[in-house]
Structure formats: C-alpha cells, structure tokens
C-alpha cells in the first residue's frame, strides 16, 4: 500500500507528469476542454475565453514574480503594449492578424527588457516602484500619442479573418485562446525543467548564492523580464483581436494589481496556480454580477449601491481565501489530491 | 482537512450558482428585451444617475400602462463606470441575451461600438450626441434624440457673435473651449466646431480639464492670459461647477460661461451656488422650470413615488424622452405588423416625422439619410439660482 510518492530514478522524478493518475487527470481535463464549447452557452464560452487569455497573462507574470522573484506592477503596461502593438500592426499597417500576434509579443518582450533594466540594481519594493513607473509611462504614452494609438479614443481593429471566416466569435476564438494557453503552459512547464528555468528559481531563492554558483544574474533577470513580457504581450495581442475594441482603460494599474492578485490567490510559482487564479478572478466578478442583476429585479432600490457592494464583496472573498490558504488555490488542490491519494490510511 | 472541505464547498456552491443564473427568452409575444448601460459609479455618474432613472422609470410607467400592445419591456441593464472595455463586454453579453434595441451612454464607447452595432443590426440610442453618430453613412444603426454636440456648439458660437454685437463691442471675441479629457469632451471641437468658429472669425483655443483635478486654476489662468470673453464647457456638471467656483475666486467676472447640455442642469447650480449666477446653458431638452405637456406622465409617475420632477432634474427628462422615442420605433414596427428585428425597427424609426414630444424637445424627425433627430435647442440663464429661459428655439444655420 502506497502512503506517499517515492521515486527511485531521476528520470521518474524529472518527468512532466509523474504519476499515472496525473496522466489520467490531464486526459480528462483535455477531453473536457474539447467538449466544452459544444455544450456551453455563449455566456460561458465568453467567460472561458477570458479565462484562457488571463491564464496566458498570469503565467507570464508568474514567470517573473513567482519563479524569478522580481515583483512587477507593470503587467497592465505590458498588456497594453501587446494589445496596441497588435492593433497598430493590423489596423494601421495592414499586417494579417496571425502575423501581428507574434510580432506584438516580441515587441512587448523588448519593452519588458527595457523596463527590466532597473531590476539589475533594485530589489523588492524598490523594484515594484520602478515597474510602477513603467506602468505610468506606458499608460501616459498610450493616452497622449494620439497619432499612433488614437489617444483617449478607443482603437477599433478589423475582426480577424481567415478565408473570409470571422475568427473572433466566441466559439472559434475559443480554440485559438485555449490552444495558445496550452502552448504557454507547456512551454513554461518545460522551461522550469531546463537550465534557464532553474537559474530563474536560483535567483528568486537567493540571488547572491545564485551568482556564486555561476548564474549570470544580470543576464537571467533580463531574460526573465523578456520571457515574461512575451507572454503578457501575447495575452494582450490576443485580447485585442478577440474584442477588436481596445482602449487604455483596460490596461491601468488596476489591471496590474488584478493580475498580481490572480497569481497570489492561484499560487506563486505554479502553472496550475496561474490557471486557478485566472479562473477565480474571472468567475468571481461574473458571479457577483449575475447575483447582483438577479437581486436587482427583486429589489430595484439596490441598483445604485450595487457597484460599491460588488467591489466590497469581491475584496472580502479575496481576503477570505488568502487567510484560509495563503499559498493559493494550487496548494489547496495539492492538499485535496494528497488527501485522496493516501485515503483512507493517511497518517 | 476541515478547511479543504469548507473551501471546496464554497467553490462548488459558487459554480452551481453561476450555472443556474443566465437564461434566454423572448419570442413573438413575451416581453421585449431592451439592453442598457448606465454610468452610476464613473466620472460622469453625476449626470448618468438621473438619466438612468429616467429610462428605468419610463419603462416602469409604460409597463404599468399596458406596455407596447400588451407586451411589457424587459430592461436589461448594468452600470459600466464609463469604461469602454466594460461597455463592449456588457453590450456583447446583452446582445447574446437577445435584446432588440440598446440604450447607450458615453461617446467613447458608442463611437467604438458603432461598427459592431451596424454588424449586429441593433438600433442604438446613446446619451452621446457626438455628431458622427447621426450620420447613417458612418453609423447606420445609431440615432440621436438630442441636438448633436457639434450643432450645439455651432448654435452657441452664433449666439456669441450676436451677443458680442448686442453689447456694442467691436472686433471679434475670444472663445475658450474647456473640455472633458475624453472623446466626449473633444467631439464638438473636432467634428466641425473649431472650423466653424474660425469661419465666423472668432479666436478660439481648447483647454483640457484633466481627469481627477481638484481645481482648474491653472487652466483658468491660461484662459485669462489668452483673454477670452466667453468660455464654452463641454463636460459634466461637477467639473464645470468646480471651474465656475475657481473662476469666481480668480475674479473672472467679465467672462461669460456657457455650458453645453451635459453641464447645463440643476446639479451645476447646486454645486456652484453663487458662482453659477449668469451662466448660460444649452438645453435641447426642456428643464422642469418650464412646465410643458410632455412632462405630465413623468410628473404623475413621480408624484406616486413621493418625489418631484424638479428634484430629478433635466437629465431625468432626457432619459425619459429618449426611451420614449425608442419605444415609438418599436410601437410603429409592431403596428406595421412586422417582426421585431433590428432592420424593421430601424426602418420604423426612419419613418418618424415631426414626432411631438409635448414640448420637451423640438419635434423629432429621422430619415434614412439623417439620424440627427433634433436640430434645435434653447438657451437658458441662471438667475437667482434658477434656469430662466433666455432665447426661443435656435437652429443650426
């Protein structure tokens, strides 16, 4: 009878999916993901797409914050670069949408490296403030560089099409968003089994020790900023093509904080956690909204206070989850798995 | 382990609640679904809240009085806090829920959505009177019930020229244009206003009123240096009232301040107090200080709620009147025996000629080439803390 997980070879220990049960769960999840769009209502498909895009962004941020230990408040800015990059490339330069997405992600990676430069000298809260500057600078640029971005006016970009088929319907875009999210997750999972990924983790755990064992801290920090921003930009570019209307309001400091909340609630340094956090932070406001709208028809008087109430409930639930499980939903999921793995003979 | 169970239970409950909620409905006999977004918590919520109440109350009043041929209206609405992305999100959601027409709010969101609106064929009446939205070639499914911002600005500029002459002054007056930092604020300036002012030989200059400003003394000082005799506001009541107070403290008594429709209201007088005296306001919709027959229903409805139209103000009337025109389009479609599709409602709206709003606006007319329903408005002036009529209806020349 097993009472824990013990590996006898390094190969087993290093495997991406280590247990048969994990493989089964993955297969079940994949099957669910494939079946889902055929049974879900448009409302749910829309939420699923939002979750998939948020997952890409959250994984991107997790690479930087959770795995490499560099706090960033510039998430909204990097998403804006990705979104406006894709928007300008398609709407103004006429580049096809599928090409604009990788180019926009690469531009964001470059911008990320640029704003990552202060990290070479700054750590912790000081770095957070430096990235806050990135957020403000990019936001200001987007609002005031009117000839490029349209300024305060929202930028409308043509709907993505292939062979005259509109791809940004909820059903069709689902495959793009989920496919990209899966690729991002796969890439990141493998990244942290590689030399580069381990260097990131070494920097997070103790940067001086990392330097002593031969990790080029400067290089890897910038690399972490670049990799992270690439995925954040990817998320922004996909979002731009999905919604086709982009405006600066989507990429404010609030966005940065929501994404930080996502990875903290989901679990720092965990891909699963990024997904859980993204799902949680997308579904919770949707749930509160639906509940609010249902109440609104019964008690019309609450309509005016509803926005404020929703915000407070949102905050309260986040605090509740953080107190109950500070290591995030990923840890909770791990606990559940471990509990059942050895059930009923746990000790 | 207790905590695991508890959290799991909470998550399961939440997912169940989510599954249970949204549904679809509609058909040929059930309620008619109308989508709406309001600003109840954003930077224009001061004027957005009474406007939203006007729309909601009209729907309630209509449903209490038999609906449209016995069919009630189901208003699906939510606050969007003046954020374009949320507007887009809610619009998409409500269209999926089967709304046939939509009541919008801001300029930024309506202009951004206009392509999507045309594609979805959803007749759309926004509280934004941005000029471009009345042009069917640019925005085929948008309809303006109020006088467009550009037309309001043209009329005000004409009045300034006249007023300047009436004062016996020579030369040309200087006009400062103080605007909200948004597409709404810039709309009349960019869509013909600046050009028209220069054609009239006026010296004009725009001044942005920054987001979240606690005073506008720097902008007003610049305006004083520029030497403006007239200041035109294209913003909402709260910032305009603040600017009026600042102007008073700067001693700018020889300057005439003019509000386009979104700051010409009771809120401005309440917030600015004495500083509002002498301010001119553009009123495409009649304020409650003038009692016209078109306000009778709203007055009676509010009386039953133990409140008055005076308390709710002009933006309430505006919401009520706008919804009324939209309902007229739906009513005409049903009366013509046609299915309630976007195309049919659009055609019905385009057949509206000289719709009498009982003196709330000039008679409303839409044609397939012209969705600017109203082209006239009156000017009012604040005297003793009240909006008093200054001119009769003025029209674009």
Using alpha carbons, list the distances in angstroms from residue A146 to A154, A336, B223: 11, 51, 24
What gap in Å lies between CA B129 and CA B187, rounded to an integer? 9
Tell me the nearest-neighbour CA distance from B216 into chain A, angstroms: 20
Q: Are residues B354 and B233 in the same domain?
A: no
The verdict on a CB contact (< 8 Å) between B14 and A245 is no
The verdict on a CB contact (< 8 Å) between A153 and B111 is yes
3 state DSSP class of A162? strand
In a domain, B207, yes or no: yes
pLDDT, position B246: 94
3 state DSSP class of A153? coil
Token pair belonging to A338: 């471990």
Q: Are residues B241 and B389 in the same domain?
A: yes
pLDDT, position B20: 44
Q: Are residues B245 and B125 in the same domain?
A: no
Domain of B224, CATH number, reads 3.40.50.2300
Identify which of B111, B108, B146, B141 has the alpha carbon closest to the alpha carbon of residue B127.
B146
| Structural domain boundaries enclosing B274 | 149-283+379-395
What gap in Å lies between CA A199 and CA B161, rounded to an integer? 72
User: Bridge partners of A156?
Assistant: A245
Identify which of B158, B160, B151 has the alpha carbon closest to the alpha carbon of residue B133.
B151
pLDDT, position A167: 86
Question: Are β-strands B124-125 and B174-179 bridged in parallel, bridged antiparallel, or unpaired?
Answer: unpaired
What gap in Å lies between CA B328 and CA B334, rounded to an integer? 10
The owner of tokens 């300047």 is B164
In a domain, A114, yes or no: yes
Domain count, chain A: 1
How much of chain A is in helix, strand and coil states, percent to nearest 5?
75, 0, 20
In a domain, A324, yes or no: no
In a domain, A238, yes or no: yes
The verdict on a CB contact (< 8 Å) between A291 and B17 is yes
Q: Are residues B384 and B265 in the same domain?
A: yes
H, E, C per residue of chain B: CHHHHHHHHHHHHHHHHHHHCCCCCCCCCCCEEEEEEECCCCCCHHHHHHHHHHHHHHHHHHHHCCCECCECEEEEEEECCCCHHHHHHHHHHHHHCCCCEEECCCHHHHHHHHHHHHHHCCCEECCCCCHHHHCCCCCCCEEECCCCHHHHHHHHHHHHHHHHHHCCCCCCCEEEEEECCCHHHHHHHHHHHHHHHHHCCCEEEEEECCCCCCCCHHHHHHHHHHCCCEEEEECCHHHHHHHHHHHHHCCCCCCEEEECCCCCCHHHHHHHHHHHCCCEEEECCCCCCCCCHHHHHHHHHHHHCCCCHHHHCHHHHHHHHHHHHHHHHHHHHHHCCCCCCHHHHHHHHHCCCCECCCCCCCCECCECCECECCCEEEEEEEECCEEEECCCCEECC
In a domain, A126, yes or no: yes
pLDDT in tens, chain B (397 residues): 555 566 566 556 555 544 444 433 345 678 999 999 999 888 899 999 999 999 999 999 999 998 998 899 999 998 898 888 889 889 988 998 899 999 999 998 998 898 889 989 999 999 999 999 999 998 999 999 999 999 999 999 999 999 999 988 888 899 999 999 888 999 999 999 999 999 999 999 999 999 888 999 999 999 999 999 999 999 999 999 999 999 999 999 899 999 999 999 999 999 999 999 999 999 999 999 888 999 999 999 999 989 999 999 999 999 999 999 999 999 999 999 999 999 999 999 999 999 999 999 999 999 999 999 999 999 999 999 999 999 999 998 7
Q: What 8-state DSSP symbol labels residue A282?
A: H
The verdict on a CB contact (< 8 Å) between A43 and B111 is no
| Structural domain boundaries enclosing A169 | 19-252
In a domain, B12, yes or no: no
The verdict on a CB contact (< 8 Å) between B85 and A303 is no
The verdict on a CB contact (< 8 Å) between B4 and A335 is yes
What gap in Å lies between CA B41 and CA B76, rounded to an integer? 18
- Residue in B96, B97, B112 closest to A247 by CB: B112
Chain B partners within 8 Å of A287 (Cβ): 14, 17-18
In a domain, A70, yes or no: yes
Q: Are residues B268 and B168 in the same domain?
A: yes
Using alpha carbons, list the distances in angstroms from residue B170 to A213, B85, B125, B162: 83, 49, 43, 12
Interface mutation vs chain A, best among B10, B21, B86, B97, most A CBs within 10 Å: B21
**Cβ within 8 Å of residue B199, ≥6 positions away:** none
Tell me the nearest-neighbour CA distance from A159 into chain B, angstroms: 10
Q: Are residues B303 and B175 in the same domain?
A: no
In a domain, A293, yes or no: no
Q: Could you read off the pLDDT of A204-228 as tens digits, one per residue?
A: 999 999 999 999 999 999 999 999 9
What gap in Å lies between CA A237 and CA A256, rounded to an integer? 16
For residue A246, pLDDT over 80 is answered with: yes
Using alpha carbons, list the distances in angstroms from residue B94 to A172, B107, B156: 20, 19, 38
In a domain, B346, yes or no: yes
The verdict on a CB contact (< 8 Å) between A287 and B79 is no
- Residue in B4, B79, B111 closest to A339 by CB: B4
pLDDT > 90: percent of chain A: 55
Using alpha carbons, list the distances in angstroms from residue A247 to A103, A265, B112: 20, 27, 9
In a domain, A307, yes or no: no
Token pair belonging to B10: 């909470």
In a domain, B259, yes or no: yes
Domain count, chain B: 2
- Residue in B76, B115, B181 closest to A152 by CB: B181
What gap in Å lies between CA B88 and CA B345, rounded to an integer? 22
In a domain, A303, yes or no: no
Tell me the nearest-neighbour CA distance from A254 into chain B, angstroms: 13
The owner of tokens 């305006």 is B223
Q: Does A154 touch chain B (CB under 8 A)?
A: yes
Token pair belonging to B173: 């007056």
3 state DSSP class of A325? coil
Using alpha carbons, list the distances in angstroms from residue B205 to B189, B202, B225, B254: 10, 10, 12, 18
Q: Are residues B101 and B164 in the same domain?
A: no
Token pair belonging to A130: 């430096």
Question: Are β-strands A245-246 and A155-156 bridged in parallel, bridged antiparallel, or unpaired?
Answer: antiparallel
pTM: 0.82
Sorting pLDDT into bands at 50, 70 and 90, what band is A166? confident
User: Bridge partners of B387?
Assistant: B382
Q: Are residues B183 and B219 in the same domain?
A: yes
Tell me the nearest-neighbour CA distance from B1 into chain A, angstroms: 8
Chain A partners within 8 Å of B22 (Cβ): 41, 43, 290
């Amino acid at each position: 009878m097993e009472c824990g997980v013990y590996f006898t070879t390094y190969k087993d220990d290093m495997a991406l999916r280590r247990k048969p049960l994990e493989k089964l769960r993955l297969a079940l999840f994949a099957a669910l993901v494939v079946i889902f769009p055929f049974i879900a209502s448009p409302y749910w498909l829309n939420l699923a797409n939002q979750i998939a895009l948020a997952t890409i962004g959250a994984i991107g941020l997790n690479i930087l914050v959770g795995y490499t230990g560099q706090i960033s408040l510039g998430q909204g800015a990097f998403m804006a670069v990705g979104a406006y990059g894709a928007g300008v490339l398609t709407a103004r330069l006429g580049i096809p949408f599928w090409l604009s997405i990788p180019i926009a992600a690469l531009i964001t990676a470059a911008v990320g490296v640029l704003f990552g430069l202060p990290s070479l000298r700054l750590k912790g809260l000081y770095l957070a403030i430096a990235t806050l500057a990135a957020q403000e600078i990019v936001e200001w640029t987007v609002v005031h560089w009117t000839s490029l971005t349209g300024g305060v006016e929202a930028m409308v970009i043509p709907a993505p099409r292939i062979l005259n088929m509109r791809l940004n319907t909820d059903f069709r875009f689902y495959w793009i968003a989920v496919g990209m999210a899966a690729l991002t997750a796969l890439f990141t999972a493998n990244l942290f089994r590689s030399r580069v990924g381990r260097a990131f983790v070494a920097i997070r755990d103790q940067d001086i020790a990392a330097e002593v064992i031969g990790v080029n801290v400067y290089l890897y920090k910038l690399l972490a900023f670049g990799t992270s921003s690439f995925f954040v930009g990817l998320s922004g570019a996909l979002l731009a093509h999905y919604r086709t209307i982009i405006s600066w309001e989507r990429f404010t400091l609030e966005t940065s904080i929501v994404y930080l909340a996502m990875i903290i609630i989901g679990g720092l340094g965990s891909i699963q956690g990024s997904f859980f956090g993204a799902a949680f932070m997308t579904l919770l406001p949707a749930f509160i909204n639906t509940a609010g709208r249902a109440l609104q028809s019964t008690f019309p008087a609450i309509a005016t206070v509803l926005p404020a109430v929703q915000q407070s409930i949102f905050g309260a639930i986040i605090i509740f989850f953080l107190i109950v499980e500070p290591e995030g939903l990923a840890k909770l999921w791990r606990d559940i798995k471990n509990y059942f793995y050895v059930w009923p003979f746990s000790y | 382990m207790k905590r695991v169970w508890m959290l799991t239970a909470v998550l399961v409950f939440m997912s169940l609640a989510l599954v249970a909620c949204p549904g679809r409905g509609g058909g040929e006999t059930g309620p008619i679904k109308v989508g709406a977004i309001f600003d109840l918590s954003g930077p224009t919520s001061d004027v957005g809240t009474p406007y939203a109440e006007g729309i909601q109350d009209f729907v309630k009043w209509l449903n209490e009085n038999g609906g449209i041929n016995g069919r009630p209206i189901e208003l699906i609405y939510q606050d969007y806090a003046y954020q374009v992305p949320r507007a887009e999100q809610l619009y998409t959601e409500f269209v999926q829920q089967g709304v046939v027409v939509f009541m919008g709010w801001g300029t930024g969101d309506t202009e951004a959505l206009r392509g999507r609106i045309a594609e979805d064929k959803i007749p759309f009446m926004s509280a934004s009177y941005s000029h471009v939205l009345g042009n069917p070639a640019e925005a085929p499914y948008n309809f303006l019930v109020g006088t467009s911002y550009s037309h309001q600005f043209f009329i005000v500029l004409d009045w300034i020229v006249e007023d300047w002459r009436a004062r016996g002054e020579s030369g040309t007056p200087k006009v400062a244009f103080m605007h909200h930092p948004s597409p709404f604020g810039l709309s009349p300036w960019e869509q013909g206003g600046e050009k028209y002012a220069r054609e009239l030989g006026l010296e004009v200059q725009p001044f942005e009123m920054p987001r979240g400003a606690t005073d506008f003394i720097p902008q007003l000082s610049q305006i004083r240096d520029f030497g403006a005799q007239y200041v035109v506001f294209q913003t909402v009541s709260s910032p305009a009232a603040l600017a009026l107070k600042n102007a008073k403290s700067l001693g700018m008594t020889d300057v005439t301040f003019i509000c386009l429709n979104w700051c010409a209201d009771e809120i401005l007088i309440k917030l600015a107090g004495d500083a509002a005296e002498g301010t001119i306001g553009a009123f495409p919709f009649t304020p409650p200080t003038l009692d016209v027959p078109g306000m009778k229903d709203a007055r009676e409805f509010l009386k039953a709620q133990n409140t008055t139209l005076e308390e709710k103000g002009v933006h309430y009337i505006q919401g009520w009147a706008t919804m009324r025109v939209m309902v007229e389009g739906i009513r005409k479609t049903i009366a013509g025996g046609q299915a309630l599709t976007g195309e049919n409602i659009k055609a019905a709206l385009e057949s509206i000629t000289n719709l009498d709003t009982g003196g709330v606006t000039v008679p409303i007319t839409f044609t397939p080439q012209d969705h600017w329903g109203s082209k006239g408005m009156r000017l009012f002036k604040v005297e003793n803390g009240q909006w008093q009529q200054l001119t009769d209806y003025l029209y674009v020349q």
